[in-house]
Amino acid sequence: MKILLVDDSRTMRNIQKKVLGDLGAVEFSEAGDGLEALTAIASTPEGFNLIMVDWNMPNMDGITLISRIREKDKATPLIMATTEAEKSRVMEALKAGVNNYVIKPFTPEMLLEKVKTTLEKLKAVA
């Protein structure tokens, strides 16, 4: 499966890579902001099985990226990583089209569980 990690923190992307590598054979792509993510998406016609999106990023933030993705693509699973401070804005993210969210800091177990349940739920309705 192909996963796109969008976060301006390389450390966070590395953590996510390590944790989500447990899902099996995963090919990761990375982007440091929303604009880079749109470029990665445009150059990956086969699409991603999951996109992890950070909220706060330079150039284009996560919520804008989510809206841009959902203009054309309602299907790709999107999970937002938010901080505790952004928790009150989770409704906004859900309205923009994220399938789920995970609050930072998270344990590896929390992240893996969140991703697994999200992917399973989406498979069930597909």
Of residues 42 through 61, those in contact with Mg ion by CB under 5 A are 54, 56
Min separation Cβ 76 and Mg ion, Å: 21
**Choices 1-9, 76-84, 89-97, 103-111; region in contact with Mg ion by CB under 5 A:** 1-9
Question: Quick one: angle between helices 10-20 and 108-125, nearest 10?
Answer: 60
Of 4, 6, 8, 63, the residue at the interface with Mg ion (CB under 5 A) is: 8
Phi, psi dihedrals of residue 122, rounded to the nearest 5°: -70, -35
Shortest Å, Cβ 85 to Mg ion: 12
Establish if 64 lies at the interface with Mg ion (CB under 5 A): no
Cα atoms found within 13 Å of the Cα of residue 21, Cβ hemisphere only: 7
User: Is 30 one of the binding residues for Mg ion (CB under 5 A)?
Assistant: no
Closest contact distance (angstroms) between CB of 121 and Mg ion is 26
List, in sequence order, every beta strand (DSSP E) within 25-105.
Answer: 27-31, 50-54, 78-83, 100-104
Residue found by looking up tokens 């099996």 in the block: 24
